[in-house]
Amino acid sequence: MKIAIITKTFITSISLLALFAPSQASAQLIPQPWVSVGGKDGDVTYAVGARALNFGVEVGIGPDSATGVDVLKFISLPVISPYVGVGLYSEDKGVAVSGGVQVGATDNVFVGAGYNSIRGFNGQLGIRF
């Protein structure tokens, strides 16, 4: 009985430490830009974006030349960074929701995949300075 309590306490302590451990501070605030190409309903869609302080902005062109801006929130994990976002598009497309993940390929390059309710599925290629 005591071993089970010690094990549960240990696992809980490690989990809380991993969740609330401070992350490494950056010396400079340098945004991480990316380009994105995707498609929806047979139309090719494009976007460019940038990320800083775990927030991002993406400007995209969707079907029927609908242009819009998405605001993204990233969750920084050691290798991958999932994100969710919301945006506003022209041409009566309205509000868009988006989500995806970016993965560090090398120290200076990352790739990603995402979905935007107006621009469809997309692939991303970005650079870290």
Split into its structural domains, the chain has a count of 1
What is the distance between the alpha carbons of residues 105 and 80, in angstroms, rounded to a whole number?
Answer: 10
122 falls within a domain: yes
Average pLDDT across each block of 10 residues of the chain; the chain has 129 residues. List them in order.
68 61 59 93 93 93 91 89 93 90 90 94 92
Burial status of residue 123 (CB atoms within 10 A of its CB: 0-12, 13-18, 19 or more): middle
What CATH number has the domain bearing residue 121? Answer: 2.40.160.20
18 falls within a domain: no
15 falls within a domain: no
13 falls within a domain: no
16 falls within a domain: no
12 falls within a domain: no
Q: Which domain holds residue 48?
A: 26-127
What is the distance between the alpha carbons of residues 19 and 112, in angstroms, rounded to a whole number?
Answer: 24
What is the distance between the alpha carbons of residues 87 and 85, in angstroms, rounded to a whole number?
Answer: 7
What local confidence, expressed as pLDDT, does residue 27 receive? 46
What local confidence, expressed as pLDDT, does residue 19 receive? 56
43 falls within a domain: yes
Contact 58, 69 (CB under 8 A): yes
53 falls within a domain: yes
